[in-house]
Structures are given as structure tokens and as C-alpha cells.
Amino acid sequence: MRQIVLDTETTGLEPEEGHRIIEIGCVELINRRPTSQYFHRYINPRRAVDLAALEVHGIDDDFLSTQPEFDQIAEDFMKFVSGAELVIHNAEFDIGFINHELERLDLANSDITQCCEVLDTLVLARRLHPGQRNSLDALAKRYDVDNSKRELHGALLDAKILSEVYLAMTGGQADLSLEGEAASPENVHSLKITPVDRQGLTLVVPRVSTEEMADHRAMLNKISDESDEPIAWNFSENT
């Protein structure tokens, strides 16, 4: 299974008000294991970054003016994510911005959910931890994921942190290999089962002492008295 953990940074909060994507970061997971493959681009939005957004990610207009526009990176981005399941924290926000950018290009398919499934880790976290804070920072702390480098938001850094949080939330990495390779049908079927050689082994079966049996009966009688119910089983003196 191929998954892409994705995050974006933007000029503001509402694409309907003309705000644009300025950074995309993606981390690839294959069979729930991170690979060395990732996608990361800064993007010239051709508009100013809101002050409130600048305080969150620190990506300023001067830097962005030297970066490619979305239409120049769109093909590479779509090739990287197509067919994968996108893992996104608060997916509605990122998907809304991505689709807005695709619509601006007037593509036949301007809805990324037509070529990718989407898993929203915020929805998942709220189901697992109802009534608790479920921001990425809160989840990183809860699952003991190191986010000490996250002084400001950044799409690639946040995608890397989210990948660790997601794996921790959903049971960890899948790994059947002693060398840390991704599990696959090939190496699953090549696993060798070595039977234990029991020849020469002496199995010791300790017997219950009289004192231990008396203590056991006393505990059963106490439970019976306190619950006002008879003991459901009996045993012989030779047990």
C-alpha cells in the first residue's frame, strides 16, 4: 500500500479570498514504512502573504518571488501523489487549497480526490481521543514524537512529524524483516520456522503444596461470602 503524508503552507486561510499555496511537502510510506522518497516545493503565489500566516510559517514575499509558480510544479506533484492514499491533518483545508490551484489551471480533473483517497488524521484523532486537544503538536507530545525542530510550521517538516504520529496512532510500522526492509509477499513467504529441539529436555511440573491449596480455598470462600454466590466449581483433595 502506498500512502503520501502531505502538508501545505499558504498565504492565508481562505482560497475563495484569493489565498494561495506557497509550500507543499510530501513523505512517502510503502506498507506503512517511510521510504527515501519525498516531494517538496516552495511556490510563488503572485500575491502577498498575510501577516498572520507569516507569523505561523515565516515564509516571506521576497523569498517566494524567486520560486516557481504552481503551474510549473503541478505535473510533478500530480505524478508523485496519483494513485496513493493521502494522509493529511485537517484534510479539508489542504484539499480545498489544492483543488483551488488545480481549478486555476483549468484542468479537466480539478479534484484531487478523483485520483487519490484521503485519510484525515484529525478526524481519526478526534475519534481516538474525544474531548482532547488534537493539534499536530498535541498529538506529537501524546505519542512521544520529537517535534523540537518545529519552531515554525513547514510543510515538509510537518509531513515528517505527521507520518510518525500517524504510524504511532495506528499501531506502528509494519515490519517483518530483521534488516528493517518493508514487508512484502516475497519476504513473508521466505520466513523460516525452526522447530525447537526438545530432545534431552526435562519438563518440571511443580505440585501445589498443602499450604498453597489451603490459601486458595480460603480465597475462594472469601469471594463466595462477599459476593453471596456459591463457588461455581469444586476440586478433589488430590488436585
> What CATH number did the domain enclosing 31 receive?
3.30.420.10
pLDDT tens sequence across 18-42: 999 999 999 999 999 999 999 999 9
- pTM (two decimals): 0.71
**Residue 107: what pLDDT?**
72
pLDDT band at residue 239 using 50, 70 and 90 as cut-offs: very low
Confidence of residue 201 (pLDDT cuts 50, 70, 90): low
pLDDT digits (tens, 9 = 90+) for 99-134: 999 999 987 678 999 999 999 999 999 999 999 999
Q: Which residue has the cell 509531513?
A: 159
Give the contacts of 76 (CB within 8 A, at least 6 positions apart): 39, 41
Q: Where on the phi/psi map is residue 153: left (φ > 0), alpha (ψ -120 to 50), or beta?
A: beta
* Residues carrying an active site annotation: 153
Task: Give the count of domains, the chain.
Answer: 1
For residues 126 and 134, is the Cβ–Cβ distance under 8 A? yes
| pLDDT band per the 50, 70, 90 thresholds, residue 217 | confident
**Domain range holding 27?**
2-185
Taking all residues of the chain, what is their mean pLDDT, rounded to a whole number?
A: 84
H or E element at residue 30:
strand 21-30
55, part of any domain = yes
pLDDT in tens, 63-100: 999 999 999 999 999 999 999 999 999 999 999 999 99
Percent with pLDDT over 90 in the chain: 64
Question: What is the Cα–Cα distance from 85 to 211, expressed in whole angstroms?
Answer: 62
